[in-house]
């Protein structure tokens, strides 16, 4: 596994890579633009080249891009659908310019229309961008949801259904968020519960699809349906939970990026959480 965190691109994409390297990371995640806007300026080829050079120089492996938060692939609202689809296509192309093969996306909300409708809408999006994903060699990684109201993708079988219904699933992966799956009701606090959760993931989706791990503790209890991240070891998953998760024999075999998205506040930063995770896992 490769361990890292989400880094700001302020000052340039290459600055994020340099900061990750300075922290001792072996991978990183970035936004390629503001996470709260639909449109962005075209990517400067020189900026992309500097990033790729920084990645090569630092030895960082399997970098990840996270799609901005505004797109919603589960809704059938025609205006949001078109904006979301265009945003996804543009982001895949931006990943291609940066040489990044892993793009994490939030599945979205069906807005009260039901999970079946949400799944249908997500499949339509994935089918429409399959060619551009293959051309740019970018895996679209569907992030597990926390089970908030009207969410699509909070259950493994829902993500499995999305993948099964696509016309071509070669460029579709999954991002396993520890805080989200815990909030959705999947326990990972003991070796036994981790094994049950991983077995269900294998049966419904397949571990070969697991391309990215978002490593976050949960501020709320198991099955809360609340998406609130906490510092590693300070939440309801706890140190024992992360020890159990990363000690699982099937998890240990994965060669995937593990990304911290923990808070930055008076209790800690990505750097303190990175040190804590290193202490727990022993990487």
pLDDT tens per residue, range 232-275: 999 999 999 999 999 999 999 999 999 999 999 999 999 999 99
The question of whether 110 is a catalytic residue gets the answer no
The arithmetic mean of pLDDT across residues 11-36, rounded, is 96
The helix (run of H) or strand (run of E) holding residue 82 is: helix 78-98
* Percent of residues in the chain assigned helix, strand, coil, to nearest 5: 45, 15, 40
Q: Which of 14, 33, 66, 110 is catalytic?
A: 66
40 pLDDT above the threshold of 90:
no
How many domains is the chain built from?
1
The question of whether 231 is a catalytic residue gets the answer no
The question of whether 227 is a catalytic residue gets the answer yes
pLDDT, residue 183, reads 98
Strands 229-230 and 217-218, bridge-based pairing? antiparallel
Q: Which of 18, 169, 261, 271 is catalytic?
A: 261
Q: Which of 91, 177, 217, 230 is catalytic?
A: 177
Other Cβ atoms within 10 Å of 265 Cβ, number: 8
Question: Any idea what the Cα angle at residue 184 is, between residues 178 and 188, rounded to 5°?
Answer: 45
Specify the CATH number for the domain of residue 267: 3.20.20.150
Q: Which of 91, 158, 217, 227 is catalytic?
A: 227
The question of whether 143 is a catalytic residue gets the answer yes
The helix (run of H) or strand (run of E) holding residue 217 is: strand 217-218
Structure tokens at 25: 């990371």
Q: How many whole angstroms separate alpha carbon 119 and alpha carbon 214?
A: 22
Q: How many whole angstroms separate alpha carbon 93 and alpha carbon 133?
A: 8
Residue-wise pLDDT tens digits, 142-181: 999 999 999 999 999 999 999 999 999 999 999 999 999 9
Domain that holds residue 144: 2-281
The arithmetic mean of pLDDT across residues 47-51, rounded, is 97
How would DSSP label each residue in 5-22? EE---TT-HHHHHHHHHH
Q: How many whole angstroms separate alpha carbon 215 and alpha carbon 159?
A: 19
Q: How many whole angstroms separate alpha carbon 22 and alpha carbon 8?
A: 14
Q: Which of 14, 33, 106, 189 is catalytic?
A: 106
Residue-wise pLDDT tens digits, 86-114: 999 999 999 999 999 999 999 999 999 99
Q: How many whole angstroms separate alpha carbon 92 and alpha carbon 245?
A: 31
The question of whether 125 is a catalytic residue gets the answer no
Q: Which of 90, 143, 230, 273 is catalytic?
A: 143
The arithmetic mean of pLDDT across residues 120-145, rounded, is 98
Using CB atoms within 10 Å of the CB of residue 193, give its burial: 0 to 12 exposed, 13 to 18 middle, 19+ buried: middle
283, 238 contact by CB (below 8 A): no
The question of whether 14 is a catalytic residue gets the answer no
The question of whether 69 is a catalytic residue gets the answer yes
Q: Which of 6, 33, 125, 180 is catalytic?
A: 180
Q: How many whole angstroms separate alpha carbon 268 and alpha carbon 151?
A: 29
């Amino acid at each position: 596994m490769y361990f890292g965190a989400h880094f700001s691109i302020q000052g340039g994409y290459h600055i994020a890579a340099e900061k990750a390297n300075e922290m001792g990371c072996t991978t990183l995640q970035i936004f390629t633009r503001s996470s709260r806007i639909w449109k962005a300026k075209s990517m400067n080829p020189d900026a992309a080249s500097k990033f790729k050079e920084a990645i090569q120089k630092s030895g960082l492996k399997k970098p990840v891009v996270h799609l901005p938060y505004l797109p919603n692939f589960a809704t059938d609202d025609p205006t949001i659908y078109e904006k979301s689809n265009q945003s996804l296509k543009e982001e895949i192309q931006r990943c291609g310019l940066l040489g990044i093969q892993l793009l994490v996306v939030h599945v979205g909300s069906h807005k009260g229309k039901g999970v079946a409708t949400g799944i249908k809408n997500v499949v339509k999006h994935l089918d429409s961008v399959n060619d551009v994903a293959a051309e740019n060699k970018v895996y679209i990684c569907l992030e597990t949801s926390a089970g908030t109201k009207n969410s699509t993708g909070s259950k493994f079988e829902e993500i499995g259904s999305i993948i099964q219904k696509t016309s071509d699933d070669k460029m579709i992966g999954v991002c396993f968020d520890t805080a989200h799956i815990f909030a959705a009701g999947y326990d990972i606090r003991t070796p036994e519960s981790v094994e049950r959760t991983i077995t269900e993931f294998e049966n419904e989706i397949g571990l070969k699809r697991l391309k990215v791990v978002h490593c976050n503790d949960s501020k709320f209890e198991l099955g809360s349906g609340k998406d609130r991240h906490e510092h590693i070891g300070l939440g309801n998953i706890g140190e024992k939970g992360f020890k159990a998760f990363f000690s699982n024999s099937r998890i240990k075999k994965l060669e995937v990026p593990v990304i911290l998205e923990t808070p930055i506040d008076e209790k800690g930063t990505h750097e303190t959480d990175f040190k804590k995770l290193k202490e727990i896992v022993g990487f």
